[in-house]
Structures are given as C-alpha cells and as structure tokens.
Chain A
Amino acid sequence: MTGQPTPILALDRVTKTFGHGPGAVHAARSISFSLHAGRALALVGESGSGKTTCARMAMREYMPTEGKILFKGEPVDGASPAETVRYRRAVQMIFQDPFASLNPAHTIAYHLKRPLLLHRPDIKRSEIDATVRALLQQVKLDPDIVAPKYPHELSGGQRQRVNIARALAAKPEVIVADEPTSMLDVSVRLGVLNLLSEMKQQMKLGLLYITHDIATARYVAEDIAVMYAGQIVEWGNVGKVIDNPAHPYTKLLLSAVPDPDIRFDDPSVRLRPQDVEEIRRKSAMTQDKIVEVDTDHFVRAA
C-alpha cells in the first residue's frame, strides 16, 4: 500500500498487547495499513482476529503498545489538546449495533445537532436546523418525518442511516465503520453499503470498513487486508486478493463463504477438520517474511 499520495491516516507497525507476562494477549501484531481519500480499505477476519482492536487504535480509543499512528503524515501522540480535538472531529466511527448507538431519550434531530454544535463552529446557530435537514436528505431519510422521532420509532436500517448522518455532521476525513451492516436485514444491507460508498466518493472520505463478510468487502472496498490472530496475513487490491489468494488462511476463508453453487453433499468440497486446524495453527505463528505476489498484492509467509 505504497506509491500513493500521503495517506490521511496510517498505522505504522502498530502493536497492541493486553495484559502482562505469560497471559498477555497480542491483539494486534505489527499492523500497518493506510487510508486514502476517496478509497475504502476492508479489514476482514473472524471474531477475535483483532479487527476491532485496530479500529479502536485508529479511533485513538486504545493507545498502541508499539508503533506509530500517522495523521496526514504527522505522528499523533495526544500531546496537544487542540490537535486531539481536530483528530476527534476528523475521524468518525459508525458502530455495529444500530439499536445501542443512539440515545433512546433524545430525538434524531438532537443526535445530529450535537456534533454540529461541537465540531462545526463554521455553521451559524440559525443555520443548524437547515443543516440537520440537509444531512438527513443526504442519507435518504425524509427530514420532516425522521427529525422529530426517537430512535425506537425507526427501523435498524433507518437508525444506521442516522448514524451515518451523525458521523458526516462532523465533516470527517476518515470514517471507521465496524461491521455496520451485520445486524441489519439482508434486504436493507445493500442500501446502507451503497450509501457508504457514495459518501466515500462524493466527500473524498477515507473509509475503514471492518467486516467478517468477505463478499461485502469486495462490494464496498478497493483494498483489503485479511487478519488472523492479530496479524494482517494478506493485503492488497481487493480483486487480486479474492481472485488469487496466496495465504492458506485467506484460501480457507474464501472456501467457507456460503456459495449456492457448492452443495455440502459434494465430497470434493468438504473441509477436513484436521486441515482447518493445521491452517489455523500455522497462521497464528508470527510471520515476518513478506512476499509480493503481484503489484499491489502482498502476503506474509512463515
């Protein structure tokens, strides 16, 4: 992921360890990735692989144990409060659970006014209501109907749209979306993903899309990074990685994605539990050697 203009946000060999001594958990091991304006990076992996730890480090919710986080090329260390405020505005998050991420005691309009008042001194008080309306229209919700409502009066998909509007209200440069559609119905999932892609292109956002669903990763993102046991095992252009996977774990992940063309009764597609265990064991070991499979396609090898 090099050879491009300075990324908006980059993690440079970042490591996060929880606990001490023999019981320590290495949630992220030497993670490097960068987010560029108008591009999406999908971070894919199973539960416990360290995806959310990476998201939280990008949000500066966790401080990395080792390594640097670079914002527009400058390391962020939290030394200057003004810089921290700027960072908090520029990097916004969309959470997994649309039912828990809005305050049940406040209207939708309130949720959108708050980031405007906090982060947007450029907007006059008299223009705030109009901006709230514009934000709701941007995420394809009807402001007259939705603005006065409370979160419980909306469906999951509508709430996730409100969450996107709330993130956009701060005029961010990076959006971190942690499994934004995994709790939504299949029929509304694509709508939310399309909206995220649109926003990314129109507003030149850097999008970090975290998911365990590799098919939606291809749908949304230009770049992909596959995580396993705290390491990024394979990364690069999303089409190249998915069509020509080089790491055994990526291959395993792809072979297990539900595919209506493959029946479980077909013995040739059977995953042998011993093989699966073997891949898991090998992939969990620290792998330092990086191999370039193709331009913009890299893999770690033992």
Chain B
Amino acid sequence: MTAPLLSVKNLTIDYIGEEKDFRAVDNVSFDVAPGEVFGLAGESGCGKSTIAFAISRLHKPPALIRRESSILLNGRNVLDLDDKGLRDFRWREVAMVFQSAMNSLNPVLRIEQQFYDVLKTHKGMNRTQARDRTAEMLKLVDIAPDRMRDYPHQFSGGMRQRIVIAICLALDPRLVVMDEPTTALDVVVQREILQRINELRRSLGFAVLFITHDLGLMVQFCDRIGIMLAGKLVEQNTAEAIYGSPQHDYTKQLWASFPSLHGGVLL
C-alpha cells in the first residue's frame, strides 16, 4: 500500500459527563489510502459518526478527544491545527456529506449562490469563474447546468443530495466523509448516486470514508471495511473478506440480521 492519505491512530473520544465519562470511541486506528473507499459499519451509538465528526474537527464539548489520539491527513495532525489552518483544511482537503444533507441546502438561496459562497471563500473566484465551475460540477452529478438558477425546493430529494455532493467536490478535496449519505433515499436513487460517486472517485481520485449500517450496500461500494461495536473497531478487512469470511462474532451476527432477497437471511 502507498502512504496513507488519512491515518487515524489510537483515537479515543469521551463524552464528558457530570459523574462519569462515556467512552464513545475507544482506541481506534485505521488508514485510508488515496482514492480508496473505506467503510465504517455498526449500529447507532457505536461511535462511527463521532469519528466522522472528529476527522473534520467538528466535534463540540462535551466530546473530548484524548491526548494520545492523532488524526494524520497527508502526515499533518488535524488535531494540532489552529483556527486559520482549520478553515483552510475543512472542505478543501476534507469535505463532508451529512445524513440529511439534502436538507442542508439553504432554502432561500439559488443553487448557483450556494456554490459561489464556497468557491469565493476558499478559492477567491469571481461570479463568472464560479458559474463555470458550478456548471462543470452539476454536469458531473447528472444535473442540467441551466438549473443552477433554481431553488432547492424545485429539486427532488435525490437531486438535492447530488447537488450537495457536487458542492463537496467543487474544491477537489482529497477525502470526502459521507455519513449515511443515502439513508433517507429509496434504493433506486441510492444506487444511482453511489454508482456516480464510484465513477467520480475513479476519475477524480478522491478517497471516501463511507459510514452506514447497511452492510450489503457497504460491500458493494467499499474497498475495505471496519466493523465497529461499542466504540471499538472489532474487525477490519477487505470488503470481500468481511462478506466472504467474517472473523469476529459480531460481524457474523450483523450479517445474520439482514433478510435476503432470495429468502432467509444473508450468510
């Protein structure tokens, strides 16, 4: 493997409570190579979203990242960045798509304006340059560029989600963190979006940290997968191995809880 793009080492995150602390993430280490799709799977409360937030340094008190932790992106420790460093780092190097991302567009601004905000802040583009870039990005996610003058409510849920992804990719980030990006969408739209992301990462070369509870979907999309249980990373392997020969009991149980289309459960 080449040098990792993202290297999470001994990440431990506590939620500080009045009487006792809750360990949300317990000594988790994993690497993501450039251009790779790495999946984190587990049930709600297992700490997978906490990790996603920590990578963009979006966690807020009472979440506390313990001192022995490090999150290295291209060798630089994200946890050491100052405010200015953090502003440059967010979005330009690591972009994030949230679970309800389609609702994270501003309802009173045209799509064009929302692209412009990002492009002006981070790249200092003027209107014309931003419009060209917007058209280019919308085309990437199969949306007609002339619709950039529309407002978010004029698009369907799946289209809004694709617009958010287009905004995320507008600055050519090297890593995109996707926290349950398609959970609120139906399967056909989900398939269209993830298929497109997969093609884009092949052509543009960004890496994806993909978080979901749907193991079947994860195996379809990811190169490698980590399984989380109660804050710990209990198993980490290639997608084929997680599907074909799961080692940890919890991974096996997780598979056994998916009904199969062909009757019975998976496995």
Chain A residues within CB distance 8 Å of chain B: 46-47, 185-187, 189-190, 193, 212-216, 218-219, 239, 242-243, 252-260, 262-265, 270-271, 273, 276
**What distance in Å separates the Cβ of A182 from its nearest Cβ neighbour in chain B?**
9
B188 A265 Cβ-Cβ under 8 A: no
Given A46-B186, A252-B188, A258-B220, residue A186 in contact with residue B263 (CB < 8 A): no
A264 B188 Cβ-Cβ under 8 A: no
B188 A186 Cβ-Cβ under 8 A: no
B192 A214 Cβ-Cβ under 8 A: no
Check B54 for interface membership: any CB of A closer than 8 A.
no
CB-CB nearest in chain B for A216:
B259
15 residue pairs bridging A and B, Cβ less than 8 Å apart: A46-B186, A47-B186, A186-B43, A190-B259, A213-B187, A218-B263, A252-B188, A255-B191, A256-B191, A259-B220, A264-B198, A264-B220, A265-B198, A270-B195, A273-B192
Listed from nearest, the 4 A-B pairs whose CB atoms lie closest are A46-B186, A260-B219, A258-B217, A219-B259
Residues of B154-208 at the interface with A, using a CB-CB cut-off of 8 Å, are 157, 185-192, 194-195, 198
Total contacts A to B, CB within 8 angstroms?
Answer: 91
Check B247 for interface membership: any CB of A closer than 8 A.
no
A187 B215 Cβ-Cβ under 8 A: no
- In-complex Cβ contact of A258 among B44, B157, B185, B187 (8 A): B187
Interface of A is mostly: helix
Residues of B7-39 at the interface with A, using a CB-CB cut-off of 8 Å, are none
**CA gap between A193 and B191 in the complex, in Å:** 25
**What distance in Å separates the Cβ of A189 from its nearest Cβ neighbour in chain B?**
7
**CA gap between A213 and B183 in the complex, in Å:** 12
Check B64 for interface membership: any CB of A closer than 8 A.
no
A259 B257 Cβ-Cβ under 8 A: no
**What distance in Å separates the Cβ of B187 from its nearest Cβ neighbour in chain A?**
4
Given A185-B43, A271-B195, residue A190 in contact with residue B216 (CB < 8 A): no
Contact digits for B34-55, partner A, Cβ 8 Å, 1 yes 0 no: 0000000001100000000000
Q: Give the chain A neighbours of B260 by CB distance below 8 A.
A: 215, 218
Q: Give the chain B neighbours of A276 by CB distance below 8 A.
A: 188, 192
Q: Give the chain A neighbours of B103 by CB distance below 8 A.
A: none
A259 B216 Cβ-Cβ under 8 A: yes
Residues of B231-267 at the interface with A, using a CB-CB cut-off of 8 Å, are 239, 243, 253-254, 257-263, 265-266
**What distance in Å separates the Cβ of A207 from its nearest Cβ neighbour in chain B?**
16
**CA gap between A256 and B254 in the complex, in Å:** 21
**CA gap between A212 and B187 in the complex, in Å:** 8
A260 B191 Cβ-Cβ under 8 A: no
Q: Give the chain B neighbours of A219 by CB distance below 8 A.
A: 259, 265
- In-complex Cβ contact of A256 among B190, B219, B263 (8 A): B190
**What distance in Å separates the Cβ of A220 from its nearest Cβ neighbour in chain B?**
8
Question: With A190-B257, A257-B187, A270-B195 given, can you name 8 additional A-B contacts, CB distance below 8 Å?
Answer: A190-B259, A213-B187, A218-B260, A219-B265, A256-B188, A258-B190, A262-B220, A273-B192
